[in-house]
Homo-oligomer: A and B are copies of this chain.
Protein backbone atom coordinates (compact mmCIF):
# COMPACT_ATOMS: atom_id res chain seq x y z
CA UNK A 1 0.00 0.00 0.00
CA UNK A 2 2.71 2.40 0.95
CA UNK A 3 4.36 1.83 -2.39
CA UNK A 4 1.13 2.70 -4.17
CA UNK A 5 0.57 6.00 -2.45
CA UNK A 6 4.17 6.96 -3.06
CA UNK A 7 3.80 6.47 -6.78
CA UNK A 8 1.04 9.08 -6.97
CA UNK A 9 2.76 12.23 -8.10
CA UNK A 10 1.40 15.67 -7.30
CA UNK A 11 -0.24 17.35 -10.27
CA UNK A 12 2.06 20.03 -11.60
CA UNK A 13 0.55 23.30 -12.60
CA UNK A 14 2.31 23.81 -15.92
CA UNK A 15 1.54 27.18 -17.55
CA UNK A 16 -0.26 26.91 -20.89
CA UNK A 17 2.62 28.45 -22.82
CA UNK A 18 5.00 25.78 -21.55
CA UNK A 19 2.52 23.05 -22.43
CA UNK A 20 2.31 24.46 -25.94
CA UNK A 21 6.10 24.67 -26.12
CA UNK A 22 6.37 21.00 -25.12
CA UNK A 23 3.70 20.03 -27.66
CA UNK A 24 5.55 21.79 -30.46
CA UNK A 25 8.84 20.13 -29.43
CA UNK A 26 7.15 16.70 -29.40
CA UNK A 27 5.67 17.41 -32.80
CA UNK A 28 9.05 18.44 -34.26
CA UNK A 29 10.71 15.34 -32.88
CA UNK A 30 7.95 12.93 -33.91
CA UNK A 31 8.10 14.28 -37.46
CA UNK A 32 11.89 14.20 -37.55
CA UNK A 33 12.34 17.86 -38.38
CA UNK A 34 15.96 18.63 -39.32
CA UNK A 35 18.02 21.82 -39.40
CA UNK A 36 16.66 24.13 -42.12
CA UNK A 37 13.20 22.56 -42.35
CA UNK A 38 10.34 25.05 -42.37
CA UNK A 39 7.77 25.02 -39.58
CA UNK A 40 4.01 25.33 -40.12
CA UNK A 41 2.75 28.89 -39.84
CA UNK A 42 1.97 30.35 -36.43
CA UNK A 43 -1.74 30.51 -37.22
CA UNK A 44 -1.84 26.86 -38.29
CA UNK A 45 -0.01 25.75 -35.16
CA UNK A 46 -2.42 27.77 -33.01
CA UNK A 47 -5.45 26.23 -34.73
CA UNK A 48 -4.13 22.68 -34.55
CA UNK A 49 -3.21 23.05 -30.88
CA UNK A 50 -6.49 24.75 -30.08
CA UNK A 51 -4.87 27.79 -28.50
CA UNK A 52 -4.89 31.52 -29.21
CA UNK A 53 -2.35 33.05 -31.57
CA UNK A 54 -0.87 34.97 -28.65
CA UNK A 55 -0.08 31.78 -26.80
CA UNK A 56 1.35 30.13 -29.91
CA UNK A 57 3.46 33.20 -30.61
CA UNK A 58 4.84 33.24 -27.07
CA UNK A 59 5.73 29.54 -27.22
CA UNK A 60 7.47 30.04 -30.57
CA UNK A 61 9.34 33.01 -29.16
CA UNK A 62 10.66 30.82 -26.37
CA UNK A 63 11.79 28.18 -28.82
CA UNK A 64 13.48 30.90 -30.84
CA UNK A 65 15.26 32.01 -27.73
CA UNK A 66 16.43 28.49 -27.03
CA UNK A 67 17.91 28.51 -30.50
CA UNK A 68 15.71 25.64 -31.69
CA UNK A 69 13.99 27.70 -34.36
CA UNK A 70 14.93 30.88 -36.16
CA UNK A 71 13.04 33.30 -38.40
CA UNK A 72 14.33 33.58 -41.94
CA UNK A 73 13.30 36.17 -44.46
CA UNK A 74 10.88 34.72 -46.99
CA UNK A 75 11.16 31.17 -45.56
CA UNK A 76 9.48 31.99 -42.26
CA UNK A 77 10.38 29.90 -39.22
CA UNK A 78 12.89 27.14 -39.75
CA UNK A 79 14.66 24.66 -37.47
CA UNK A 80 18.09 25.92 -36.48
CA UNK A 81 20.93 24.12 -34.80
CA UNK A 82 20.87 25.10 -31.17
CA UNK A 83 24.08 25.92 -29.48
CA UNK A 84 24.57 24.56 -26.00
CA UNK A 85 24.72 27.99 -24.48
CA UNK A 86 22.33 30.09 -26.51
CA UNK A 87 20.05 31.96 -24.17
CA UNK A 88 22.36 31.83 -21.19
CA UNK A 89 24.92 34.47 -21.96
CA UNK A 90 23.09 37.56 -20.88
CA UNK A 91 22.29 36.15 -17.47
CA UNK A 92 25.85 36.23 -16.24
CA UNK A 93 25.76 39.71 -14.86
CA UNK A 94 27.09 39.67 -11.28
CA UNK A 95 24.29 42.12 -10.38
CA UNK A 96 21.79 39.37 -11.03
CA UNK A 97 23.60 36.38 -9.59
CA UNK A 98 23.60 35.35 -5.96
CA UNK A 99 26.81 34.70 -4.04
CA UNK A 100 26.23 30.95 -4.18
CA UNK A 101 25.91 30.87 -7.95
CA UNK A 102 28.99 33.06 -8.38
CA UNK A 103 30.98 30.77 -6.14
CA UNK A 104 29.83 27.79 -8.23
CA UNK A 105 30.88 29.50 -11.44
CA UNK A 106 34.24 30.45 -10.04
CA UNK A 107 34.83 26.83 -9.03
CA UNK A 108 33.82 25.73 -12.50
CA UNK A 109 36.56 27.88 -13.93
CA UNK A 110 39.14 26.20 -11.67
CA UNK A 111 37.88 22.79 -12.76
CA UNK A 112 37.99 23.66 -16.47
CA UNK A 113 41.50 25.10 -16.48
CA UNK A 114 43.04 22.15 -14.66
CA UNK A 115 41.05 19.67 -16.73
CA UNK A 116 41.66 21.04 -20.23
CA UNK A 117 45.36 20.16 -20.40
CA UNK A 118 45.18 17.16 -22.73
CA UNK A 119 42.94 18.98 -25.18
CA UNK A 120 45.39 21.91 -25.26
CA UNK A 121 48.26 19.54 -26.08
CA UNK A 122 46.28 17.80 -28.83
CA UNK A 123 45.30 21.12 -30.48
CA UNK A 124 48.19 23.50 -29.72
CA UNK A 125 49.94 25.21 -32.63
CA UNK A 126 53.29 26.99 -32.57
CA UNK A 127 51.37 30.24 -33.17
CA UNK A 128 49.63 29.70 -29.83
CA UNK A 129 52.92 29.44 -27.96
CA UNK A 130 54.04 32.71 -29.63
CA UNK A 131 50.84 34.46 -28.54
CA UNK A 132 51.18 33.23 -24.95
CA UNK A 133 54.87 34.18 -24.86
CA UNK A 134 54.03 37.65 -26.14
CA UNK A 135 51.48 38.19 -23.36
CA UNK A 136 53.95 37.03 -20.70
CA UNK A 137 56.76 39.22 -22.09
CA UNK A 138 54.54 42.30 -22.11
CA UNK A 139 53.35 41.46 -18.61
CA UNK A 140 56.89 41.14 -17.24
CA UNK A 141 57.99 44.43 -18.81
CA UNK A 142 54.99 46.47 -17.76
CA UNK A 143 56.00 48.72 -14.82
CA UNK A 144 52.36 49.20 -13.78
CA UNK A 145 51.92 45.50 -13.31
CA UNK A 146 53.20 45.35 -9.73
CA UNK A 147 51.07 48.18 -8.36
CA UNK A 148 47.91 48.34 -10.37
CA UNK A 149 45.55 45.46 -9.76
CA UNK A 150 43.50 46.33 -12.85
CA UNK A 151 46.56 46.05 -15.09
CA UNK A 152 47.53 42.74 -13.52
CA UNK A 153 44.00 41.45 -13.90
CA UNK A 154 43.98 42.41 -17.58
CA UNK A 155 47.10 40.30 -18.26
CA UNK A 156 45.68 37.48 -16.20
CA UNK A 157 42.53 37.44 -18.28
CA UNK A 158 44.37 37.80 -21.59
CA UNK A 159 46.61 34.84 -20.75
CA UNK A 160 43.92 32.49 -19.51
CA UNK A 161 41.52 33.47 -22.29
CA UNK A 162 44.00 32.35 -24.89
CA UNK A 163 44.14 28.90 -23.29
CA UNK A 164 40.40 28.54 -23.85
CA UNK A 165 40.84 29.66 -27.44
CA UNK A 166 43.58 27.05 -27.94
CA UNK A 167 41.11 24.31 -27.02
CA UNK A 168 39.34 24.97 -30.37
CA UNK A 169 36.22 23.88 -28.57
CA UNK A 170 33.45 26.43 -29.17
CA UNK A 171 31.49 25.43 -26.12
CA UNK A 172 34.50 25.90 -23.84
CA UNK A 173 35.27 29.26 -25.45
CA UNK A 174 31.74 30.60 -25.15
CA UNK A 175 31.66 29.35 -21.63
CA UNK A 176 34.73 31.31 -20.77
CA UNK A 177 33.41 34.55 -22.23
CA UNK A 178 30.25 34.02 -20.18
CA UNK A 179 32.31 33.52 -17.04
CA UNK A 180 34.39 36.65 -17.52
CA UNK A 181 32.15 39.15 -15.69
CA UNK A 182 31.95 36.82 -12.71
CA UNK A 183 35.68 36.22 -12.83
CA UNK A 184 36.28 39.98 -12.79
CA UNK A 185 33.98 40.44 -9.86
CA UNK A 186 35.59 37.67 -7.80
CA UNK A 187 39.12 38.85 -8.56
CA UNK A 188 38.30 42.42 -7.61
CA UNK A 189 36.81 41.20 -4.36
CA UNK A 190 39.96 39.22 -3.64
CA UNK A 191 42.11 42.25 -4.43
CA UNK A 192 40.24 44.27 -1.84
CA UNK A 193 41.07 41.79 0.93
CA UNK A 194 43.44 42.99 3.67
CA UNK A 195 45.29 39.71 3.64
CA UNK A 196 46.09 39.17 -0.03
CA UNK A 197 46.34 35.52 -1.09
CA UNK A 198 49.89 34.47 -1.81
CA UNK A 199 50.72 33.85 -5.44
CA UNK A 200 51.22 30.26 -6.54
CA UNK A 201 54.80 29.19 -7.14
CA UNK A 202 54.15 28.63 -10.85
CA UNK A 203 54.09 31.76 -13.02
CA UNK A 204 52.58 32.39 -16.45
CA UNK A 205 56.10 32.03 -17.88
CA UNK A 206 56.42 28.60 -16.26
CA UNK A 207 53.11 27.62 -17.84
CA UNK A 208 54.28 28.74 -21.29
CA UNK A 209 57.49 26.73 -20.87
CA UNK A 210 55.46 23.70 -19.83
CA UNK A 211 53.08 23.85 -22.75
CA UNK A 212 56.09 24.22 -25.04
CA UNK A 213 58.29 21.45 -23.66
CA UNK A 214 56.33 19.51 -21.08
CA UNK A 215 53.64 16.83 -21.06
CA UNK A 216 49.88 17.19 -20.54
CA UNK A 217 50.41 15.84 -17.04
CA UNK A 218 53.07 18.46 -16.23
CA UNK A 219 50.84 21.23 -17.50
CA UNK A 220 47.85 19.96 -15.53
CA UNK A 221 49.80 19.83 -12.28
CA UNK A 222 51.50 23.18 -12.91
CA UNK A 223 48.17 24.82 -13.66
CA UNK A 224 46.80 23.38 -10.42
CA UNK A 225 49.78 24.88 -8.59
CA UNK A 226 49.30 28.22 -10.39
CA UNK A 227 45.70 28.32 -9.15
CA UNK A 228 46.67 27.44 -5.56
CA UNK A 229 45.55 30.77 -4.02
CA UNK A 230 42.01 30.15 -5.27
CA UNK A 231 41.98 26.55 -4.12
CA UNK A 232 43.19 27.63 -0.68
CA UNK A 233 40.15 29.87 -0.46
CA UNK A 234 37.90 26.85 -1.04
CA UNK A 235 39.72 24.89 1.66
CA UNK A 236 39.37 27.79 4.12
CA UNK A 237 35.66 28.11 3.35
CA UNK A 238 35.15 24.47 4.25
CA UNK A 239 36.59 24.74 7.74
Contacts and interface: CB of A to CB of B under 8 A. Distances in A.
Instruction: State how many copies of this chain the complex holds.
Output: 2
Residue among A65, A86, A100, A235 with most chain B CB within 10 A = A65
A49 B115 CA distance: 46
Contacts of A119: 107, 110-111, 234
Interface string A21-39: 0000100010010010000
A85 B97 CA distance: 12
A114 interface: yes
Interface in A107-147: 107-108, 110-119, 122-123
A214 interface: no
Nearest to A99: B81
A67 B25 CA distance: 20
Interface stretch (A3-11, A164-172, A186-194, A196-204): A164-172
Interface of A is mostly: helix
Contacts of A65: 62, 65, 87
Given A98-B81, A114-B115, A220-B114, A169 B107 contact: yes
A180 interface: no
A95 interface: yes
B88 A88 contact: yes
Given A61-B58, A234-B119, A88 B90 contact: no
Please tell me the size bucket of the interface on A: 35 or more
Contacts of A114: 114-115, 117-118, 220
A84 interface: yes
A142 B36 CA distance: 45
Given A81-B96, A105-B171, A111-B172, 16 more contacts: A66-B90, A66-B91, A67-B91, A84-B88, A84-B101, A84-B105, A85-B88, A87-B87, A101-B171, A104-B170, A107-B171, A107-B172, A110-B119, A112-B115, A113-B115, A220-B224
